[in-house]
Amino acid sequence: MKRLWLLFAQTATVLLAVYFVVATLKPQWLDRRAQVAGIVPVFEAATGSASGGKASGFRAAAQAAAPAVVSINTSKARARNPQGNDPWFRFFFGDQDESQQAQTGLGSGVIVSPAGYILTNNHVVEEADDIEVILNDGRHTQAKVIGTDPESDLAVLKIELTDLPVITLGNSDELHVGDAVLAIGNPFGVGQTVTSGIVSALGRTQLGINTFENFIQTDAAINPGNSGGALVDSNGHLMGINTAIYSRSGGSMGIGFAIPTATARSVLDAIVRDGQVIRGWIGVEPQNLSPELAQSFGIKSDEGVIITGVLQNGPAAQAGLRPGDVITAVNGTKVNAVPELLGAVAALKPGQAAPFEVVRRDARQQVQITPAQRVPTRRPGR
């Protein structure tokens, strides 16, 4: 019995050694035998082979959206010193190096129309003298600024090329936290790059980036140069325009922000139609209603936005609005925060009266206010 066990152990050892030798030197022998036996490798069955299997991961989304994402190079000529031609100035300070006169910038954009319209960020092209657009297929051309909207940090460019790839605009209102997204752009000028992540949060406001804020937050890596690029869903549909990141190092830290397509679409339509975005304005200073403010003004309401200041002779003042009034609805839309009030007022048509639901002390009333046209304001340096 002991001899039989010894013989079995030696045979198993030899067979195992032969298997490892064949697997190392001639692995195709094992593959051939597996195919004859009807066995398919697990990885190939799950994902498809590289030669002809079904696309896995986000490949299809990237292939659908990436051709419509472009790189944008900008340059701005520095103002020349008016004393640059003065012989005494040149004697003391020397000749100025003309090669250092131009400032350059880098960003991304998204082709949204066969006619050549491109969505990007306002801060990418702001004050640029020359804008060059480079397509993913290698073509490059000069772009013309059709219009900008500093308050949403969006801009519309136009290029004169044919056979342009166009991205499909998605419905950003259908996004949910946890949905998979891709960020596509040209970070640091290394070339088009695709990164993946999820929607981390929705409706981010009061970040101090734009006047009108309603950001999609994502952990997909967004870096300098990605500004104006595309945030797309798993189908390759545009869900947002990448705009800003929270970073202490200048690189991605997993907190990026994109302007929703719903906002970008309305700005695009307004700029293409009118050359600018026309918004309503009523001339008030609003604040979120806190218990302290409610007590200070003697208000029992716990909803709405309190008005702490009213511009003299402004639309709100002419309609009888006073400090201490609480606006709870604008043209039928409920408002409970300052960004909601700003957005609702901005959506009004200037010169056309709209109903405002107002709480004054304990009494509720409706006030008709005719908004004026809002004058765009610049945000501080980004």
Instruction: Report the distance separating Cα 337 and Cα 342, nearest Å.
Output: 9
Strands 230-232 and 284-288: unpaired
179 catalytic per annotation: no
Q: Which one is catalytic: 123, 152, 219, 233?
A: 123
Q: Which one is catalytic: 71, 152, 200, 227?
A: 227
Instruction: Report the distance separating Cα 215 and Cα 204, nearest Å.
Output: 5
Question: In sequence order, what DSSP letters do the residues of 79-139 get, joined into one string?
Answer: PPPTTTT-HHHHHHH----GGGSEEEEEEEEEE--TT-EEEE-HHHHTT-SEEEEE-TTS-
269 catalytic per annotation: no
Query: Within the chain, where are the H helices?
Result: 2-25, 27-36, 42-47, 59-65, 87-93, 122-125, 261-274, 291-296, 315-318, 338-346
The H-or-E segment that residue 363 falls in is: strand 363-369
274 catalytic per annotation: no
Instruction: Report the distance separating Cα 43 and Cα 314, nearest Å.
Output: 68
Positive or negative torsion for Cα 218, 221, 225, 229: negative
Q: Which one is catalytic: 153, 219, 233, 325?
A: 153
H and E: helices and strands count for the chain: 10, 21
Q: Which residues contact 304 (CB under 8 A, 6 or more apart)?
A: 289, 326, 327, 328, 329, 335, 336, 359
Which residues does residue 133 pair with via DSSP β-bridges, in sequence order?
Answer: 72, 141
Question: Are 191 and 184 within 8 A, CB to CB?
Answer: no
CA 377 to the chain's CA centroid = 21
Question: Are 23 and 15 within 8 A, CB to CB?
Answer: no
Active site residue ranges: 123, 153, 227
